[in-house]
Structures are given as C-alpha cells and as structure tokens.
Structure 1
Amino acid sequence: MERFDLNILGCGSATPTLQHNPTSQVLNVREKLFMIDCGEGTQLQFRHSRLRFGRLNHIFISHLHGDHCFGLIGLISTLALLGRTGDITIHAHADLETILRPQLDYFCREIPCDVKIEPFDPQISELIYEDRSITVKTIPLIHRIPCAGFLFQEKPKEAHLITDKIKFYDIPIKELAKIKKGADFIREDGTIVPNERLTRPAEPSKSYAYCSDTAYNEKIIPIIEGVDLLYHEATFADAEAFRAKQTGHSTARQAGKIAKMAGVKKLMLGHFSARYTDNGILLQEAKELFDNTILANEGLCEKL
C-alpha cells in the first residue's frame, strides 16, 4: 500500500496557546512531502514529527495571515543551514513575493537553493500542481482576505497483472504496459483475451481536501465531494456562530454539515480558537451531523 498520510504539525488559530501550535500540516504521498501552511514554529514541529527535510519540495499557503505563514523564513533558513540545494516552490497569493523576498534577501543571501513563489488566484478553482502521482487544485474559500483551500487527488492507478495468466497466455513483455492501462490482449490467431481476465483492479485513488480558514460556504461542496478525508476549520462552537460569521470562520456544526452534504468519508476538525481548553464540545457538535469526525492534534498521523 503506497503512502498517503496526513501529519498534523499545528491546528490552532491566531492566538498562541500552550495546547496547540499555529496551523501547519504535511501530506506524505509516496514519500514526497507537501506542506500546507507554515505557521510560527513549524520547523520545530517538523522535527518532532521525524519528517525528512530533504523530501519537502512544495509548500502551499492558503492565505497571508501570520498564523499561516510566519514560519516560512525560519523553515527556509534552516534548510539553508542544512545545505539544501534542491529548489523549494511556494504556492501562494501573489503578495507573498513582496512580503517574503526581502526577508530572503536579508537573512538567506547565501542560500544554496532557489526559492520560487508560484502565485495562484484564490477566487477560482484551478490546477496549480501536477506530477506523475497527484494533482493539486485550489478551493476558493470565504475569509477576511483572499484565501484558498487545496484538493489533493491521486491519479488513477494501473491495474495489477495476474502473473499466472500472463504466463499461461505467453504474453510478451512489450504488451504488459498496455494491459496495465486496460488493453485486451490479441493472440496470434486473432482471439481476444479480455483485460479483466489478465488483471486485478487497482486500489482506489486517495483524495484529501484542506479547507481553512473559511466561513460556511456550500459552494465548495462540488469540489470536495466524496473525498477520503476533509480537514475543515472549526474555530468556534455553535454558540459563537455570529462571531464566526463576523470573522470569516466556521463552527464545528457547520463543518459537520458541509461534510454530510459533500458525502466525504471522514471529517477532521481543526483551527481551534484559543477560548476552548477542551475541544470535545466541537467534536460533539460536528458528530451530531456527521458521525465519522475526529479532532486534529499535534503529532497526529492520519493514514488514508
């Protein structure tokens, strides 16, 4: 089973607490690490999680509030100290260039790698990254400043060859790649061996949606529909619904409603307000609408 693991480095909101760190998480896809947001202290949490700096090449920043990006300069400085030579690409609102570049020029003048900032438009859903394994699309969110979530989707996997059948029909090696992709095999006498006789279905592709920070927004449902795991902010309990709307945030109950309407497989709550010393009330409210809900917590590694 190939890895598709979500590591929580921080799941608190803007006000620092002893309970939670500012927002950051790392998605491990087949040993490639993708960081989502980078709040203050992220590099220390990265160490605590025993993740490997050398496997991190792409960072996705949802929006330019400090609790989601203040950790960037520290992280990049550490990568420079470690002798990092491979490029680092940061996907973010275009304004990050004017914010981060002067810091890099001052603190990281001799960094041996290139830090690239790839801008995206938070107001539209678009493909912003692709490799052989996954695609990453933006999810427009509603917040006080331009903000986007991210949808990570594994590409469809190839079917598994049934070794005994391949040998039985004496199929040449050059035909195997086509059969993995769904082709039938045509024998020398013209008879057709159906693909389903030669292969077993591949494991289902995994998907993960990150939605923070955002007010309640049903427009995201078609984008995140059916994902294996939805991380949705739950800054407030339902008693603070008015405050949530004022500040561009969601309640736990609203997160549960979104998960139910989108038909996701599992919901993870995060971005907890500092006012809650016990996040159990948030879990309870979300589970009233969507039972398969868990709380994010530093050090949690959720295997999809």
Structure 2
Amino acid sequence: MSNRELVVLGTASQTPTRTRNHNGYLLRWDGRGLLFDPGEGTQRQMTFAGVSANDVDHLCLTHFHGDHCLGVPGVVHRMAADRVRGAVHAHYPASGAEYFHHLRHASAHDNAVHLDEHPITGDGEIARDQFGILRAVRLDHRIEAFGYRLEEPEGRRMLPEVLARSGVRGSDIGRVQRGEAVRVGERTVDPQEVSEVRPGQRFAFVMDTRLCDGVFALAENADMLVIESTFLDQDAELAERYRHLTAKQAARVAAESGVRCLVLTHFSQRYTDPRRFHDEAAEVFDGTIVVASDLDRIPVPRRR
C-alpha cells in the first residue's frame, strides 16, 4: 500500500445513488490522515474501506452544504467511541461555526475526542505538520467555501556517484543527509555539492465552485488535483447557475495549471455513464484522468 494515497469514500453530489455515497475523501500522507468533506454515510463507508477513526488527524470542510458535512456527527461519535489518540484538528469556514457546533453535538455521546477547531477566515496557511503546509483558498460558491492545498517543502536528494567522487563515506553520508558539512581530507564538503533539489509534492482539493482565481491557485503544479465535475459541458448553463464546474472546465484547470493526476468526482445523479466525464476531460487534458468511484484507492503519483 502506498503511504500517499487518496481513499475515496463517496462521489455523489446533492443526491446519493445506489452506487455513489455522499462525499468523503481520506488523504493518507506519510502516517497522517486528512478527511475532507464527510457527507452523510461516511462512517459506514470508512468501515467498507478499512479506514479507522484513528486514521484521521485533520478534518477539513470546504463549506456547509449537507452533502459535504452531514457525516460529521457520525465520524466524531466514532472517534469518541474508539478513543482516538491525540488531537484531531477541524478546519472549516468561520461563517459556519454555528453549523459545526450543531454537527459536533448533534446527539448525546461520550465526548471523549480531543477536537481542536480552527475556523478559516481567509486565504493562507492553516496548519503545519510533518506533511508540510496546509493552505486554504477561497472559492466562488453560493455560500462561503474554501479549497485546500497541501504543500510538502522542498528537500534534497543525495547523488551517490557525486558522494563517491567527493570521498564521502561511512557515517559521514548520514551527516550530509542531515544537512551537515563534513571534512574529507583537507577540504569541506557541503551537502549542496553532493545533492540536488527534491521538489515537494502538492495535493489540491477543490469542491463546489465555479471557475475563479482560487481554483487555479489551488491547482498550480499539483501532483494530484481532486476536483468537482458535477456537470457535463452540455449542462454548462446549469453549472454556472448553481456555481459548479463541468468536467471540461475541471480538465481545463488541470491543463493550464500543470497538474499530473486529475481526479474527477462529485457527480450529479442525472448522469449514468461515468465514461462521459473521462471522454470530455480528455478533450482538453492529456495527463492521467481518474473518474472516481466509491471505495477507490488512488496513489499519489511518484515524485516528478
């Protein structure tokens, strides 16, 4: 199993179907878990997917329409019942704080989970953890909504042949990997001489919105972009009216933003053939396209 993967828990939009649950997406990232937009039924979907409440470290809501948040009570109660270890950090638009309070306390339960709330008031960094930096960017929907972007800092990759030519051996290799300069004979070898920049990976999560600057800011150079494609292009007027995206618009974002893996989701129940979303996106984007299905496990692409 990849240590960086997206576990898809639900892919429907406003109305679930027999094959698509309401939204829910768990991003596994080097031992951390970020649960995005748990809609109704997410707790049960987690069971089907083999996801534990202890796998969730960050709970991230884009906005407070029901298909993106009505699963919060069940997930929080499950966390309490399972005695989740450590703090769980909840991120959501500050304008919906009252909704989050009601969701969190929707029924009587053993309030044993340590849930730290971090209401979002504007664009910018909202969390920093071992995964890197989590940012929020405002979107354009009928109510206040934010997308999320995870950014891993740049690192350095050792170059074995250059290390050997420089005479760095044994325990000195470990020191160089930790960023320390070492002495080899009469000279000092700096880590930058024997390594190259290792780009950090990028993950972007975009839900209900029409095209806006925020969508492109979130998607820029993303290794994986998870994005709503509620409508097909034939219904572009509906998409504009309800402030949603079409598959073609989502693909345009990916093409113009240097995305590597495009994950389409949040499908209207009016469409029965998921291949149409792939075909429409492929007209403008020639990278990897995944039309998400419930319980899919999608690995984040290997480093560039």
Task: Give 2:155's aligned amino acid.
Answer: K
Structure 1 window deviating more from structure 2 (203-212 vs 129-138): it is: 203-212
Paired residue for 2:155?
157
Gap regions ≥5 residues in structure 2: none
Indicate the residue corresponding to 2:177 in structure 1.
Answer: 180
Aligned ranges 1:234-273 → 2 under 5 Å: 234-273=229-268
Distance in 1 between residues matched to 2:169 and 2:279, nearest whole Å = 58
Note the aligned Cα RMSD (angstroms).
2.7
Report how far residue 135 of structure 1 moved: 1.0
Q: How far apart are 1:181 and its partner, in Å? A: 5.4
Displacement of 1:57 in angstroms is: 1.8
User: Corresponding residue for 1:148?
Assistant: 146
Which residue in 2 is equivalent to 1:224?
A: 219
CA, structure 1 residues 180+161, in 2 after alignment: closer, same or farther (shift >3 Å)? Answer: farther
Equivalent residue number for residue 189 of structure 2? 193
Q: What secondary structure does 1:67 align onto?
A: helix
Shift of 1:248: 0.6
Partner AA of 2:17 in structure 1: T
Q: Please tell me whether residue 64 in structure 1 is matched to residue 64 in structure 2.
A: yes
Once the two structures are overlaid, the 10-residue window that deviates more, 99-108 or 271-280, is 99-108
Matches within 5 A, 1:55-134: 55-105=55-105, 107-121=107-121, 124-134=122-132
Q: What is the CA deviation profile of residues 4-23 of structure 1, one whole-angstrom value per residue up to 9, with x for unaligned ones?
A: 11111111101121121111
Structure 1 residue 97, shift from structure 2 partner: 3.1
1:208 counterpart letter in structure 2: F
Among 272, 290, 294, which residue is 1:294 paired with?
A: 290
Note if contact 1:73-1:100 (Cα within 8 Å) is conserved in structure 2.
Answer: no
1:133, distance to aligned residue in structure 2 (A): 2.6
Cα displacement (A) at 1:82 = 1.8
Question: C-alpha separation between the residues in 1 aligned to 2:85 and 2:180?
Answer: 42
> Number of aligned pairs?
298
Question: Any conservation in 2 of the 1:25–1:36 contact (CA below 8 Å)?
Answer: yes
CA distance in structure 2 between the aligned counterparts of 1:227 and 1:300, rounded to whole angstroms: 20
1:73-118 CA distance string (max 9 Å, x none): 0111122222335322210012443223245446245322222221
Q: What amino acid is the match of 2:133?
A: T
Q: Specify the alignment match of 1:19 in structure 2.
A: 19
| CA contact 1:19–1:277 (8 Å) conserved in 2 | no
- CA deviation after TM superposition for structure 1 residue 141, in Å: 1.1
Gap runs ≥5 in structure 1: none
Structure 1, residues 113-160: CA drift from partner, whole Å, max 9, x if none?
A: 222221002xx4210111133211112211100111111122223434
> Residues of 1 paired with 2:151 and 2:84: CA distance?
28
CA distance in 1, matches of 2:247, 2:20: 17
TM normalised by structure 1 equals 0.88
The Cα offsets for residues 219-241 of structure 1, whole Å up to 9 and x where unpaired, read as 53244211111112111111110
Distance 1:52 1:117 in 2: 21
Query: 1:253: Cα distance to partner?
Result: 0.8
Asked if the contact 1:160/1:202 (under 8 Å) is kept, the reply is no
Alpha-carbon distance in structure 2 between the residues aligned to 1:296 and 1:280: 11
TM-score normalised per structure 2? 0.88
Q: Which residue of 2 aligns with 1:46?
A: 46
Same amino acid, percent of matched pairs: 26
